[in-house]
Amino acid sequence: MRIAVFGICGNMGKAITKNLVKEKDIEIVAGFDKTGEGKDIGQVLNIGNIGSKIYSKYDSIKECKPDLIVDFTSPAIINKTINWALENNINILVGTTGISKENLGKIKKKAGNAKSKVFIVPNFSIGAVLMIKISKLIAKYFDNCEIIELHHDKKKDAPSGTSISTAENIGLSKHFNKQRLKDFEEEKIGGSRGAFTDGINIHSVRLPGLLAHQNVIFGAQGQTLSIKHDSIDRSSFYPGVIFAIRNFDNIDNFTYGLDKLIDI
């Protein structure tokens, strides 16, 4: 498979590409980034030249004829990139988070009539995906639930895509609250009860030293149950990335979440 990695000079782009170049059935034909244009990808990865370069223009990527784009860019350009990929019949695997529900709806509609596929994955950690699926299974047995998500201080979006996806999935099993604050609650400082979606309050923490962490806390009379997941190194995302790549034939034109490929 011929792959172009978008956001290849970022931390995630470099971490994933270093592993992809080791796969015998994959060829990294191009990188896409606003920095490093013209450099051999191997120079950015510190592994020696591999014969493929970094570009900053879509047309240059098209000339490399990739079968698949793996994207780790930013919310600022991801919608443009997805639309371009669909218009040019190129499959795209999206690891970039921060896409609004409105834009997801537009992408889904456009993908339905396209000749290529869009696979959007808020979190490639298989452990995090299992956390979401388990949370959905047990939600009906508890009275309430809140989510605390913790990430590094360079993360641009909050709440995280994983926490939003967790809340959405739990909401399919049980809707806990109709509003962010209960009738008797009063915030002494605005926002102290967190964000709110699908009946669940979400609290976001951003600190140096963290990578990606989430705690789903369920409460019932006299007890709590916590489901916690920690990604302590970006290598934790690679098994999910290669799993998604090798299962592209098994997904629909628009698929959201790695959970669609994991059955428990």
Catalytic residue set: 151, 155
How far, CA to CA in Å, does 110 sit from each of 88, 106, 245, 256? 13, 6, 21, 14
The torsion of the CA quartet 121, 123, 126, 131, rounded to 10 degrees, works out to -120
Measured distance CA(153)–CA(204) in Å, rounded:
11
Tokens 């869009």, residue located: 118
Query: In the 3-class helix/strand/coil scheme, how is the chain assigned residue by residue?
Result: CEEEEECCCCHHHHHHHHHHCCCCCCEEEEEECCCCCCCEHHHHHCCCCCCCEEECCHHHHHHCCCCEEEECCCHHHHHHHHHHHHHCCCEEEECCCCCCHHHHHHHHHHHHCCCCCEEECCCCCHHHHHHHHHHHHHHHHCCEEEEEEEECCCCCCCCCHHHHHHHHHHHHHCCCCCCCCCCCCCCCCCCCCCEEECCEEEEEEECCCCCEEEEEEEEECCEEEEEEEEECCHHHHHHHHHHHHCCHHHCCCEEECHHHHCCC
